[in-house]
A and B are shown apart, each in its own frame.
Chain A
Amino acid sequence: MPLTDVHKDLDALTMTITAELDVPVERAWQLFADPRQLERWWGPPTYPATVHAHDLVPGGRVHYSMTGPEGDTHHGYWDVLTVDAPYGFQIEDGFADESAVPDDDLPSSRMTVRLDPRDGGGTRMSIISTFATAESMAEMLQMGVEEGFKAALGQIDEVLAASR
């Protein structure tokens, strides 16, 4: 398990994830630069990803989709802002339709990837997620509230079941 740190900053509305990889920076870069490798880890296990277009250069776009257990497909895009191969890049990550046209009604977030060499030949990978706008954070917080209500309802069900 190479994950070493997760840091959430509510003031800056960012989350930073740090992982120590036992491969050189050039190998770690391929995780993002090679679409066949990217699609093997970008989607969660239950939502595998397919990368349809991949242009990891400033001003370029990456278009991907993820398919869920019930065949539901969700499209997303990266707008590539800056690239410093093989040490990192910055993108805007958002939702899109099947033609990769961004859906501006859904929240997007900014992601900065840093790949720094470690002593001994490994790589320290840092992922910094920033909510692009206050509205994005607000929408996501609201989704969290909905989830909280569902969890609370689930607990009520358990209590009722136990009292029978």
Chain B
Amino acid sequence: MTIYNHMVVDQIDGATADQLMHALADATRRDIIRRSIAGRHSVSALARHYPISTTAVQKHVAVLEQAGLVSRHKVGREQRVRTEIAGVRAASSVLDDLEALWRARIDQIDDLLAEPDRAQP
């Protein structure tokens, strides 16, 4: 459990958290995030990558947009989808915190195991 959790736990906003979690827990939506980093694709262009209808992709994009993970921009007559890097980074920082904690722990385990074994003379 990360120490960090104690510090900010008072600031939880349940609605936003649920949206973020729901948005990320789907492989197609994560793929849309990945493909939209450069912001060059419209929804219909994105839809060509998946075996689902454009309407279904539209719904996925709407879920991502509500969670702050992508935004839509008008370019000419086209609506293009662009990944909101800050949103994605924020969501992944939770697991990064846990990874950092375990890296620190394993460094300490390493030091502990390097000491002479006091149990055996």
Contact = CB atoms under 8 A, between A and B. Distances in A.
Interface of A: 1-3, 6, 8, 10-11, 13, 15, 17, 19, 21-23, 27, 31, 37, 40-42, 44-45, 47, 66, 68, 74, 76, 93-95, 106-109, 127, 129, 134, 137-149, 151-152
Given A42-B105, A152-B86, A138 B18 contact: yes
Cβ-closest 5 pairs across A and B: A148-B90, A142-B17, A41-B108, A138-B17, A144-B94
Contacts of A31: 109, 112-113
Interface residues of B, number: 45
A41 B105 contact: yes
28 contacts: A3-B102, A6-B102, A10-B24, A11-B27, A13-B25, A19-B106, A22-B113, A27-B117, A37-B112, A41-B108, A68-B3, A93-B1, A106-B5, A107-B5, A127-B102, A134-B21, A138-B20, A139-B9, A141-B21, A142-B14, A143-B4, A143-B5, A143-B12, A144-B93, A145-B90, A147-B93, A148-B89, A148-B93
Contacts of A145: 16-17, 20, 87, 90-91
A2 B24 CA distance: 31
A66 B3 contact: yes
A129 B14 CA distance: 22
B102 to A, nearest CB: 5
B4 A44 contact: no
B105 to A, nearest CB: 5
A123 B82 CA distance: 45
B1 A76 contact: yes
A68 B42 CA distance: 49
B104 interface: yes
B89 to A, nearest CB: 6
